[in-house]
Structure 1
């Protein structure tokens, strides 16, 4: 049985290079320290409408936006309940795409998988074959950025394909990349795309963000049941009437969101995307010089590099030593590839220069 371990607050500051949470600006952290106010006051309307409309502007989308107090996992459940009556297609190529399929199954849906080895990317031709098989899919669910393997799936091509199937909704988990990896949401027929604030948005954890198409909203209206907390109708109708959330939100984190979105809008989505590409290119070059990359070539993530441990270093010890000696934290590999790989998160407010500080530390500790 787990025993209490007292939180003392006496811990060294660590620079985070994780696949999330990531580094948060000081002024964003300070924004959470405003005096508390009621979630039904006009002040809340000012706050919530600001973050919602700023998010739409940043993402360059006409889709409605929902910001809920939750992790991104909430929208695995909500999109499934809101859009899927019976059957869903989910390509699986890592831990999180498999989890998306598992969530749908636990909600009582029939799930057809297109299974790939970890490190491989989803292929649009395989999705087309499944759609042309005669199966009647309510939705296709896909992980855009497979955090466990560092694979960036070709969601644009698959979204273009789904344009030929207007009765099949396209649900995209972009939890570990949205905000650092640009996607034209409407242009590629995405009906629901969601993320968590602690990833490429570089905000504190605690909020989930979802952009929802008109078609997805209308689809939920036609269903006999849907998510209560994450229901599109419930969230969006309340926003239209009140400019607020239907349930009590995490107000301090929304204050941080407002502050960080100012920085994101100032930088601009294109520039933010370009900066993340530069970090990804640097990290991949470094990985291939000293190790190798785990992701299939041509499908590498722009926010998380999964490094294949070709040298057989002690990954867990290296992660711990870098943390202790350099106060920098990166991540071991995920699940069954824990010692076969390690992961570097280059997202949010990091730069090539700050990522280089981490790779220099890894070189020193691992004797590269």
Structure 2
């Protein structure tokens, strides 16, 4: 049984290069220290309507936006409960797409998988073939846009385009580790629900989940006999329309941080933020190819997380630990069974090429590259 380990105040500060959480600006952290206020006060309406409408502006969407106190996992459950009666199609190519399928099965849905080897990307033609060959059809297709375990960026734009031919099948996109650092035209690619967590490319503290919902998805939930209570589209969006607030008590300090950070993101602009993440990804890939290799399939590399194949056989765990101890920088070993076969560099949020280069220089020194 786990024993208590007392939290102390003398931990060294570490620069985070993880696939999340990521670095947070000082003024965003400071915003959480405002005096507490009631979640039914006018001040809460001012706060919540600001972050919701600023998020819509940043993402360039007219779709409704929900911000809830939760991890992104909440919207795996909610979108499944809100949109799927019986059957869901989920292509699996890594740990998180497998988990999305597992969540739907746990909720009692029939899930058909299109299985890929870890590191391979989802192919749109396989989605179309599955839709065409199914006699029953599917209520929804769920795709992980950015497979954090393997560093694969799936072609959700092409998948969404083909789903335009299947108007009765809803498109659910898990963009937890990339939204805000990898541009996506939500309405332009028929996405009915796309969600993220604040601690990833939004570069905010953990604790909030964000979901953009199409009108069709909202109407679909209205037709169902049952739906998510906490993350229900009708419950959350109708309450916002009436009150400009959340239906349940929110994490107010984190929403204050959200307000501050979203102003920074709007000032930078979505296009510029996307470009900065492209530049970091290109540098990380070039470095990986020079010293190791890339784990993901060529042409489908993530824009926010580079998964490096450990072709030199370095001790990944020891390298991660030594870089942390000697340089106060934290990156990640490979996920699960890939813990020594690969390692991952998160280049998302407030990092830039120069800060990523500081990490790769440290890795080179420790691993004697």
Structure 1 residues 243-263: Cα deviation after superposition (integer angstroms, max 9, x where no partner)? 000000000000000000000
Aligned-partner Cα distance in 1 for 2:213–2:108: 23
Aligned-partner Cα distance in 1 for 2:255–2:365: 40
Counterparts of 1:193-212 in structure 2, within 5 Å, are 193-212=194-213
Aligned-partner Cα distance in 2 for 1:338–1:359: 18
Alpha-carbon shift at residue 216 of structure 1 (Å): 0.2
Aligned-partner Cα distance in 1 for 2:153–2:195: 15
Aligned-partner Cα distance in 1 for 2:9–2:325: 17
Aligned counterpart, 1:291: 292
Aligned-partner Cα distance in 2 for 1:4–1:177: 35
Alpha-carbon shift at residue 9 of structure 1 (Å): 1.7
Aligned-partner Cα distance in 1 for 2:30–2:64: 29
Aligned counterpart, 1:215: 216
Gaps of 5+ in 2: none
Aligned-partner Cα distance in 2 for 1:233–1:10: 46
Alpha-carbon shift at residue 100 of structure 1 (Å): 0.1
SS of the residue corresponding to residue 171 of structure 1 reads: strand
SS of the residue corresponding to residue 314 of structure 2 reads: coil
SS of the residue corresponding to residue 137 of structure 2 reads: coil
Counterparts of 1:1-368 in structure 2, within 5 Å, are 1-134=1-134, 135-368=136-369
Alpha-carbon shift at residue 160 of structure 1 (Å): 0.1
Aligned-partner Cα distance in 2 for 1:331–1:122: 24
Alpha-carbon shift at residue 286 of structure 1 (Å): 0.1
Aligned-partner Cα distance in 2 for 1:336–1:57: 40
Aligned-partner Cα distance in 1 for 2:311–2:250: 46
Aligned-partner Cα distance in 2 for 1:114–1:144: 15
Aligned length: 368
Alpha-carbon shift at residue 171 of structure 1 (Å): 0.1
SS of the residue corresponding to residue 185 of structure 2 reads: coil
Alpha-carbon shift at residue 313 of structure 1 (Å): 0.3
SS of the residue corresponding to residue 343 of structure 1 reads: strand
Aligned-partner Cα distance in 1 for 2:34–2:184: 34
Aligned-partner Cα distance in 2 for 1:9–1:150: 34
After TM superposition, what 4+ stretches of structure 1 lie above 4 angstroms from structure 2? none
TM-score normalised by length of structure 1: 1.00
TM-score normalised by length of structure 2: 1.00
Gaps of 5+ in 1: none
Alpha-carbon shift at residue 36 of structure 1 (Å): 0.1
Alpha-carbon shift at residue 78 of structure 1 (Å): 0.1
Structure 1 residues 112-164: Cα deviation after superposition (integer angstroms, max 9, x where no partner)? 00000000000001000000003410000000000000000000000000000
SS of the residue corresponding to residue 297 of structure 2 reads: coil
Structure 1 residues 245-295: Cα deviation after superposition (integer angstroms, max 9, x where no partner)? 000000000000000000000000000000000000000000000000000
Aligned-partner Cα distance in 2 for 1:124–1:260: 35
Aligned-partner Cα distance in 1 for 2:103–2:165: 27
SS of the residue corresponding to residue 132 of structure 1 reads: helix
SS of the residue corresponding to residue 32 of structure 2 reads: helix
SS of the residue corresponding to residue 33 of structure 1 reads: coil
